[in-house]
Structure 1
Amino acid sequence: MTNLADRPTFDLLVAEGTTASGTIIPPETDEPGLGLLLAHPTTSRRNGAVAGAWVRANMIATVDGAAWGHDHRSGSINGPADLRVFEVLRALADVVVVGAGTVRAEGYGTLDVPEHLRGLRAEARCADELVLAVVTRAGEVPAHLLADPHVLVVTSAEGAACLGPDLPSERLVVAGTDDVDLRAALTDLAGRGLGRILTEGGPHLLADLLAHGLVDDLCVTTSPTAVGPGADRIVAGDPGRPAADLRLATLLRARDVLVARWRVA
């Protein structure tokens, strides 16, 4: 059972673009305050970049822009404030979409919603189980995830051929021929009732999603540290891709940690 006393209180600085001074959000069972701030639009208002879906990205970065710390993992730059938001965002999602490289680097396994957030998830009417969708162009997924019934593989037709016949077809999202068609893949997920889509990167997948206009909002935790050169930014890849215009919707502070939710224009 999570000890809520170990979680920091947030000061709410901006809500829906308006200054919200004097409002605090303490950690509570089922996180009603944080859950309300971070809730996805209801089905009837889910008019996002992908029909029937709301696509949210969640990332953490250092003050100098690094997406990971000395060990090439985001876990070395996060802390209790980021964890509090991270768990609520997952509790409010139907599916978590992650690139295969990040899955391997971060050691992803079966996703679970903490006991103290099960009520929040039920109230939001999310899918019964939190699904992990691994994006892989080449069909390369760790064996332990291929054996997990709550894991979907999002790949191209060429990648699907590399996976072989053992993976049940209902756990396969095939979108594109030699590369993954991300819009088609997200549309497929929405059609399966997985319309509240959360992506946790990595930086190359987020770059692709932003470049194709497929992100509705972006949550970024700023970790109060600087790691120096060497790490990717939270958006990596071709510098010639179009920029995404953002509008600040929510800003939270827990001591020196900032958590912002940006709406993508």
Structure 2
Amino acid sequence: MRQLIPEPPRSGEPELSTVYAYPRNARRWLRANLVASVDGLAQADGASRGLSGPADLRVLRTLRGLADVVLVGGATVRTEGYRRPVVAREEFAAARARDGQPPAAAIAVVSASLEVDFDSPLYTEAVTPTITVTVADAPADRLERARAAGEVLIAGPHGRVDLAEAVDRLVDSGRGRLLCEGGPKLLAAVAAVGRLDELCLSISPQLRAGDGLRLLDGPQFPAPIGLSLHTLLTDDGFLFARYLIT
């Protein structure tokens, strides 16, 4: 891994935990992490794993190791095979303990329909209990199962999860270091309600063409959301860009 921007003061591999450190004084900081091909596709054969690689997974593990909560949409849980929770890793243990964080980030599944497998290891083997974010009028039987499986956060009365409320309630509970792993619909919705602070984009050295999802999948924003390039890394042909919302 090499750092390209800003130019590092000395040679050697950058410390990813330092490069991606959350702002120390921010009460809330929500970053997104997604991978895309050079021509802008966020999926390959229906999932993002075909775009990833070992270097991308290193960045992913670092971002998860720093976060309090990982937000992911219910559809992404199904299509990407989110069957296991975030695991506690020794390299992050001391820093997490120092900052009062649990040993591993909690995954928060955002789903109005609650079409989620509550018997999967994502729920049954979580070091930090998995959170289900849903609406007040979710199917009663599914809501009961969600409550039996872990923490439930109700955000919005009906139909669609109020993501601004969900994020704000997580922050109010002391979990302000947030990581959104998508998919593209969830990321577009988070950005649309003004809760996105940062985008960590892995650019995979591939051209895919064809039809497929882009990084954001939702209605056009009234005005473009400006980005400022904070850091750029490279490894094994990948580019890892950290953009701040301006």
Q: With structure 2 as the length reference, what TM-score do the two structures score?
A: 0.88
Matched residue pairs, number? 239
Contact 2:38 2:203 survives alignment (8 Å): yes
**Partner of residue 53, structure 1:** 28
Q: Give yes or no for contact 2:132–2:146 (8 Å, CA) kept in 1.
A: no
Give the alignment partner of residue 163 of structure 1, picking from 129, 139, 142. 142
Which amino acid counterpart does residue 157 of structure 2 have in structure 1?
A: T
Query: 1:86 maps to which residue?
Result: 60
Aligned counterpart in structure 2 of residue 181 of structure 1, from 139, 154, 162: 162
Gaps of 5+ in 2: none
Pick from 221, 224, 240 the counterpart of residue 205 of structure 2. Answer: 224
In structure 2, distance between residues paired with 1:107 and 1:136: 15
Corresponding residue SS for 1:101: helix
Residue of structure 2 equivalent to 1:13? 4
Contact 1:204 1:235 in 2 (8 A): yes
The Cα RMSD (Å) is: 2.1
CA shift in 2, pair 1:22/1:202, >3 Å? same
Question: In structure 2, which of residues 186, 189, 194 is the aligned counterpart of residue 205 of structure 1?
Answer: 186
Residues 127 and 193 of structure 1: CA distance in aligned 2, closer, same or farther (over 3 Å) = farther
Aligned twin of 1:95: 69
Q: 1:76: which partner in 2? A: 50
Structure 1 runs not aligned, ≥5 long: 1-9, 27-32, 47-51
Cα gap change, 1:89 to 1:14, in 2 (>3 Å): same
Contact 1:87 1:113 in 2 (8 A): no
Aligned counterpart for 1:154 among listed residues 133, 136, 149: 133
Q: Give 1:234 deviation, angstroms.
A: 1.0
Aligned partners of 1:160 and 1:174: how far apart in 2?
13
Instruction: Call closer, same or farther: CA 1:238–1:258 in 2, change over 3 Å.
Output: same
How far off is 1:21 after superposition?
Answer: 7.5
Displacement of 1:241 after TM fit? 5.0
CA contact (8 A) 2:65 2:104 kept: no
Shift of the 75–156 alpha-carbon distance from structure 1 to 2, 3 Å rule, reads same
Indicate how the Cα distance of structure 1 residues 162 and 14 shifts in structure 2: closer, same or farther if over 3 A, else same: farther
Does the 8 Å CA contact 1:219/1:261 hold for their aligned counterparts?
yes
- The alpha carbon displacement at 1:213 in A equals 1.2
- Measure the CA separation in 2 of the matches of 1:114 and 1:12: 24
Residue equivalent to 2:22: 40
Partner of 2:196: 215
Contact 2:44 2:51 in 1 (8 A): yes
Distance 2:221 2:138 in 1: 27
Identity over the aligned pairs, expressed in percent? 36
> Within 1, Cα distance between the matches of 2:53 and 2:208?
15
Please give the alpha-carbon distance, in whole angstroms, between the structure 1 residues aligned to 2:143 and 2:216.
32
C-alpha separation between the residues in 1 aligned to 2:62 and 2:96?
A: 9
User: Do structure 1's residue 118 and structure 2's residue 93 form an aligned pair?
Assistant: yes
Q: 1 CA distance for matches of 2:146 and 2:217?
A: 31
**Change over 3 Å in CA distance of 1:74–1:120 after alignment to 2:** farther
* Partner in structure 1 of residue 37 of structure 2: 62
